[in-house]
Structure 1
Amino acid sequence: MTGRTRWSFGCGPAAPVALAVAAALLTATACSSPHAGDGGDGRARSEGATRAIRPVEGCGTGAWTDPADLSADRAPARCRPGAPPAAPLAEHRRLTIATGTLSAEYVAPLVVALDKGEFAREGLDVTLKVLPTPEALPLLAKGDVDALWAAPEAAVMNGVRGGFDIRWVAGNFSPGPGSKSGLWARLKDGESAADVTLSGRRLGTMIGKGSVIAYPMEKALERYGGDLSRIQYQQLGSADVLTALENGGVDSAWLLDPVWRRVDDKPGYAFLGGQPAGEPLGGLLYGPSLLSEDTDAGVALLRAYIRTVNTYFASDYKADAAFVTYLAKLLKTDAAILRSTPLLRMDWEIRSGTTDRLQAAYEAQGAVPGSSPPLPEPRTVDRRLYEEAVGHHP
């Protein structure tokens, strides 16, 4: 491998989400940065308040799309391959990015950036550390972890509500054409997909309440006679979700790539909907260390990530057999399986209102305090750093 690669793996059982969030909230005051707060608009913070945004070579008008554009066929923002060019920091920084896995395809841009030396070109010595979100969240708020590759789940919203200075700063992907990763139902005798009603049915899921899939699930349930509050959730291990659906242990399940291939076009199963096309639901979350204490490093990290997307994932990266073989080796997965699923549309931008829609779904599930008003977008999202990385002045 090239670059200064270090791998680190978390150990021990994952703490239950509710307990982790409760512990996080108890330490919120102690963990919050002295720069916490959003200055009224979620953008004016410490040195970042007066940072200049300059044109960036290789990143023209195509390097930005209107955040309000939610169209399914929206082309994601792109710079030219190799752009934005590296701008090495004067002094090397050591950064730790927490992620729940290193083998899923949606983590590929980080793993490739590390292997190809894109982080090193920015003067960053990056460690990818495997940690579940509930464990990583308080570490991110304290600065023990610099970034989190995850999603603005209910645990994140509850942490921000409790005082954590955390923002979602870059997207990850939206599903490509042909993807059927999402909500599947087991049909009853004589039932067709058009007849499905999910009210009161049991749903198998790896995460349970409070995951970002609550939002696309809510959209699917609206079409099939159910709502989030009337679904019986059954939390299962990743290897057990499909088995439970096949043997009738659950009536529906959220199936990920490539598991849904096992029931695709198979009699007795129906795909009801997945993640909205063109709308990333996760990506990079920053804590105070990169939001305000060292914004230069925060922008540099995004620059390396965005350059990796533009260079290796800009179009149909699965059309290149050699690259698929290389990627499968990095992710420690089977190349045939990787090739069999539709590609992901890698997308660093964040759509307007996504965290509003997520919070509405969390409230419907009972995963966030219903008595508290939703967090406004400036408390949850900061687009300023990737705008600077590509030279877009809003």
Structure 2
Amino acid sequence: MFPRFQRRPLWTLLLATGLALAAACAPSGNGATGSQAANAKQVPVLPADVSLSGKPGTPAPKPLATRASLKVGIPSKLELEAPALLAQTYGEFAKENIDVTFVTDTVPNLLTLLGQNKIDLAYAGAQALVFNALRHGVPLRWVSGVASSAPDSGVYLSTKYGKSAQDFDFSVLKGKNIGVNPGALAAPSEYGLYEAITKGKLSPGDVKMTPFTDIAAMAQALNNGSIDGATLGPPFTASLNPGIAFQATPGYPKTMQIAGYFATTDLLDAHRAAGTAFFRAMERTVNTYLSGDYHGNAEVMAKVAENLGTTTDLLKVAPSVSFDFNVPAQSVDSLQQMYRAVPNTLQYNDAVKPAELLDLSLVIDAAQGR
């Protein structure tokens, strides 16, 4: 891993932000100007003539002249992290002359480590914590997306209240008990529920949200009728009993992204070559092994299952992931709008603009073989 500089105690800001969010403290004023620092190559919007996908084997390796080491934080081993895990397995990082070490921890802890400059990248959802940290002076950047919303993911409601999204009156959600992921509307995975509440002209307080740390248990609760609905995605949607529920709304629209990789400006500036090499390997891995319906490739699925500590049969219950490294600018505005609907979730008044948080220059340079 690269040497770290002692120029700023950013970890204290990020840790304080995380603790404040967990304690649901009242909003504070805008933070330091560190969040405004931008590298000279910053690109907040993917140009219309640039594609982040390509043919197998592309972009070609461009090994660094000097071996570099990166530490990459991941909260748990999910199929969404397959590009990085398989890049390690298939030697794609080695082809770029970089060593990658994975660090597993919770998202708040990983973001704190990122602010401490103890890791170089972190895979995470774009939680309210990310926006608060940026406003408190931590120069985080959202440098890549991960995937488009799975077709089967979204808000599932009991068929007692409707049959399909086309004829469902979302105002029916008032007073209903909906199973959610921990964090509820402070977590990006709940954007579909926020959209459903908005369509029903309701406020978050009109709906009871019951958090589940065990998503399988949430699906079972919907099966047995102890909750009225749930935000679910594959493979858990496959465990719903036939006719018990319907998909009222998708997890999030194609015009936005809710997760991906985050970095500090150190990686984007002083160590940019290593960051670009990392994403060249990631994009090449997707183009070569994880494009289309890769669930039909027995060799690739065996490697994915081995990395995730599961079986190919369990993985194939869900459809292949549609990996996508782009982060549409609307993501920043839409997520803040959701977080703002929950009192004391965002700790600032002046909205974060897409150009402050997004920097797609690494994935663009990687796709173009730079």
Q: With structure 1 as the length reference, what TM-score do the two structures score?
A: 0.77
User: Given the alignment of the two structures, is residue 257 of structure 1 paired with residue 234 of structure 2, yes or no?
Assistant: yes
Distance 1:224 1:22 in 2: 29
Give the whole-Å Cα distance in 2 for the aligned partners of 1:77 and 1:87. 17
Instruction: Give the drift of 1:378.
Output: 1.4
Structure 1 residue 314, shift from structure 2 partner: 2.3
Once residues 332 and 83 of structure 1 are traced to their aligned partners in structure 2, the CA distance between those partners, rounded to angstroms, is 28
Q: Is structure 2 residue 88 aligned with structure 1 residue 114?
A: yes
The one-letter code matched in structure 1 to 2:133 is G
48, 51, 57: which one aligns with 1:82: 57
- Secondary structure class of the residue paired with 2:130: helix
Structure 1 residue 186 corresponds to structure 2 residue 163: no
The residue number in structure 1 matching 2:48 is 66
- For residues 348 and 356 of structure 2, what CA distance do their matches in structure 1 show? 18
Helix, strand or coil: the match of 1:284? strand
Written as runs of structure 1 = structure 2, the 5 A alignment for 1:96-245 is 96-102=71-77, 104-176=78-150, 179-188=151-160, 192-193=163-164, 194=168, 197-209=172-184, 210-224=186-200, 226-238=202-214, 239-245=216-222
The structure-2 alpha-carbon separation of the partners of 1:392 and 1:123, relative to structure 1 and needing over 3 Å to count, comes to: closer
State whether residues 21 and 134 of structure 1, in contact with CA within 8 Å, keep that contact through their aligned partners in structure 2. no
Partners of 2:255 and 2:201 in 1: CA distance: 25
**Secondary structure in 1 matching 2:62:** coil
Question: Match for 1:207: what amino acid?
Answer: P
User: Residues 312-351 of structure 1: matches in 2 within 5 Å?
Assistant: 312-351=289-328
- Whichever residue aligns with residue 219 of structure 2, its letter is L
| CA distance in structure 2 between the partners assigned to 1:128 and 1:192 by the alignment | 44
CA spacing shift, 1:355–1:229, aligned 2, 3 Å: farther
Q: Hey, what's the Cα distance between the residues in 1 that align with 2:203 and 2:157?
A: 15
How far the C-alpha of 1:76 sits from its partner, in A, is 7.1
Counterpart for residue 7 of structure 2: none
- Deviation of residue 370 (structure 1)? 7.0
Q: State the AA in 2 paired with 1:261.
A: A
Aligned residue for 2:29?
none
String of CA shifts for 1:16-45, please: whole Å, max 9, x gaps: x9637479x9xxxxxx9xx94445xx442x
Paired with 1:112 and 1:187, the residues of 2 have a C-alpha distance of: 40
Q: Per the alignment, do residues 88 and 216 of structure 1 end up closer, same or farther by CA in structure 2, a change over 3 Å counting? A: same
Note the C-alpha offset of 1:323: 2.3
Please say if residues 20 and 134 of structure 1, whose CA atoms lie closer than 8 Å, have aligned partners that are also in contact.
Answer: no
Q: Contact 2:86–2:303 (CA<8 Å) still a contact in 1?
A: no
Root-mean-square deviation (CA, aligned residues, Å) is: 3.1
Q: Are residues 1:19 and 2:19 paired?
A: yes
Match of 2:363 in 1: 386
Moved more, 113-122 or 270-279: 270-279
- Cα–Cα, structure 1 residues 139 and 129, in superposed 2: closer, same or farther, change >3 Å? same
Structure 2 counterpart SS, 1:150: strand
Query: Cα–Cα, structure 1 residues 217 and 127, in superposed 2: closer, same or farther, change >3 Å?
Result: same
Give the superposition deviation at 1:89.
1.6
Question: Aligned in 2, Cα 1:186/1:225: closer, same or farther, shift over 3 Å?
Answer: farther
CA 1:65 to 1:272, structure 2 compared with 1: closer, same or farther past 3 Å?
Answer: farther
Distance apart, 1:162 and its partner CA: 0.7
CA distance in 2, matches of 1:173, 1:156: 19
* Aligned position for 1:57: none
1:76 & 1:231 partners in 2: Cα distance? Answer: 40
Partner of 1:307: 284
Residues 252 and 200 (structure 1 numbering): CA distance in 2 closer, same or farther, change over 3 Å? same
Paired with 2:337 and 2:137, the residues of 1 have a C-alpha distance of 20
1:246 to 223, 229, 245: 223
Cα distance in structure 1, aligned partners of 2:283 and 2:212: 34
In structure 2, what is the equivalent of residue 91 of structure 1? 66
Amino acid paired to 1:152: A
Distance 1:290 1:303 in 2: 15
How many angstroms does 1:360 deviate by? 0.5
Structure 1 residue 117 displacement after superposition:
1.1
How many residues matched? 340
Shift of the 96–18 alpha-carbon distance from structure 1 to 2, 3 Å rule, reads: closer
- What is the TM-score of this pair, normalised by structure 2? 0.82
- CA 1:225–1:299: 2 relative to 1, 3 Å: same
Q: Can you list the C-alpha shifts for 1:279-312, whole angstroms capped at 9, x where unaligned?
A: 4321111123312231111111111111111111
Q: 1:77 to 1:367 in 2, by over 3 A?
A: farther
2:8 corresponds to: none
Q: Is the Cα–Cα contact under 8 Å of residues 38 and 378 in structure 1 kept in the other structure?
A: no
Match of 1:61 in 2: none
